[in-house]
Chains A and B, each alone.
Chain A
Amino acid sequence: MVQVSVQDTVLTGIPEEPRLIGGKCPDCDNHVFPMQKDCPKCTGDQIEKVDLSTKGILWTWTIQGFPPKSPPYIGETDPENFEAYGVGYVELPGEVKVEARLTENDPTRLRVGMEMELTVVPLAVDEEGNEVVTFAFRPTENN
């Protein structure tokens, strides 16, 4: 199945090399995600697009234990088939903390401070038969 990004202006490089597209303010070095022109830190409006780092540290996390409402969610919402999934903020050093899905959904295998790396998880199959994916972080082998 061909993989496609849930939003290619946010998550690019599917399938070989997923990257998150953020922004960096040339005036104050503040980073944002997703990309926006306006800087909430210095009130400038010249933020430029950058690829964000693919590695970071887990800052906090939770486990989504019930199916979200659809819309907006496009993943599995049938309570019979729904599988809990992790969500967390991953701190990308020198950039931002990004909110992301986590590949792990077991609370005993997640902890603040873990090293994480970018990957993708499947959400749904679209009308053309492509697999729609969104970004996620997984614990690296260093943990």
Chain B
Amino acid sequence: MHDVAIVGIGMHEFGRHDGVSGMDQGVVAVRRALADAGAQWEDLEFAFGGSKDAGSPDTMVSRLGLTGLQFINVHNGCATGGSALISSYNAIRSGTFEIGIALGFDKHERGAFRVRTRGDNLEWYGESGMALTTQFFGMKINRYMHDYGITQNTLAKVSTKAFRNGALNPMAWRRKPFSEEEVLESTMLSYPLTQYMFCSPGEGGVALVLVRADKAKEYTDNPVYLKSCVVKSRRFGSFEVFSPHLANEFSEGPTVDASKAAFEMAGIGPEEIDIAQLQDTESGAEVMHMAENGFCEHGEQESMIQNGETEIDGKFPVNTDGGCLANGEPIGASGLRQVYENVLQLRGDAGERQVPGDPRTAYTHVYGAPGISGVTILSR
């Protein structure tokens, strides 16, 4: 097995870009990642590319160069970006290739994701008004608040932190800070979650150049190493989005499983992680994912967040780039954005939002339909 390093990162600004296709944004991200690595498109031996709504990523070879590289499209729900990354990771780790690129981009229609239930015997589910991801998040955090004493004010604090961090991030979509009152008084979309507690589908692109670790110094003086990369699907008894029924018996969800496997693979524990980017489809998700990923006990988030521990200058910074809340969620790119941010932070290149204290380890986590989680652990 070979170690894997990230030597180039590129991103197209997240947000809304009228007249710019999702593919255009993916191509920009690839060119920026190559420039960052000091590599050429023709150097790449493989690409794994993901997009949900913006076309087949492999067609971008007609714009970047018809070099004959192995280009595989990845389509895996909300873990699309994470799946492109794990595929790239394994391609190098196995010794098959020395250098390649993981990329993702997307462009979605406005408003909550439209779910097509036609043709899979669940027409009635959508027709009855239950095929909405927002309801799942509302129901999961509502039960969690009941069980563990998380308050709505803590949910608001997660949002205000996200928008404050987003304001410091030139690549973020939403760069205007909001007050807790504004968050709490915005439209109630799915009780107890208000409009400013939810992220929106958006646009953007991210690309990462990966190489076999022994080649890393040929490209950069400050490589960042991928210590683990895991994707897990759900087990029987877990509570997931789009479930017309749940089993009465309980089992942990895919986030817990992916997290445990990732820590085991990296040979470190949660207490050794300096920064984390956690899936924050809405502010309650960030709260629950802190515990599901092993960073605290259930319920401890209440005091951690009230005490500012997850702020950029706190003990355990979470979602330093503003997360999904400030960046929006272009599905193909979202998981890769988290890795991009962690590479910047570990290089010390995060500018105004740089986490102090010379962070050495960083963690990413994505979660989405139909019950899938992806985790990475990076270190310098």
Contacts and interface: CB of A to CB of B under 8 A. Distances in A.
Interface of A: 6-7, 10-11, 22, 30-34, 40-41, 59-66, 68-69, 71-75, 85, 87-89, 91, 93-101, 107, 112, 123, 134-135
Contacts of A40: 236
Closest 7 CB pairs of A and B: A72-B126, A62-B138, A7-B124, A60-B143, A33-B245, A134-B128, A63-B191
Interface stretch (B66-74, B96-104, B114-122): B114-122
Given A33-B244, A96-B245, A87 B236 contact: no
Nearest to A11: B124
A31 B245 CA distance: 9
Given A40-B236, A72-B115, A134 B143 contact: no
Given A62-B139, A98-B244, 14 more contacts: A10-B124, A11-B124, A40-B236, A59-B143, A60-B143, A61-B191, A62-B138, A62-B142, A68-B129, A69-B112, A71-B114, A72-B127, A74-B127, A89-B246
B139 A6 contact: no
A101 B188 contact: no
Given A59-B143, A62-B139, A99 B244 contact: yes
22 contacts: A6-B124, A7-B127, A30-B247, A33-B244, A34-B122, A59-B246, A61-B142, A62-B138, A63-B191, A65-B189, A65-B191, A69-B114, A71-B118, A71-B126, A72-B117, A72-B118, A72-B125, A75-B128, A88-B139, A95-B248, A123-B127, A135-B128
Contacts of A34: 121-122, 244-245
Contacts of A31: 245
B135 interface: yes
Contact of B128 (A6, A32, A60, A63): A6
Given A68-B129, A123-B128, A97 B248 contact: yes
Nearest to A43: B236
Interface of B: 111-112, 114-118, 121-132, 134-135, 138-140, 142-143, 146, 187-193, 236, 243-248
B300 to A, nearest CB: 21
A32 B245 contact: yes
A101 B129 contact: yes
Which of A11, A33, A66, A85 has the most chain B CB within a 10 Å cutoff? A66
B123 A7 contact: yes
A97 B246 contact: yes
B129 A112 contact: no
Contacts of B193: 62
Contact of A60 (B121, B127, B129, B140): B140
B248 A96 contact: yes
Nearest to B109: A69
A134 B124 contact: yes
A64 B129 contact: yes
Contacts of B125: 72
B283 to A, nearest CB: 15
A91 to B, nearest CB: 6
Given A63-B188, A65-B189, A73-B127, A96 B247 contact: yes
A22 B248 CA distance: 14
Nearest to A113: B146
Contacts of B114: 69, 71-72
A23 B139 CA distance: 24
A66 B246 contact: no
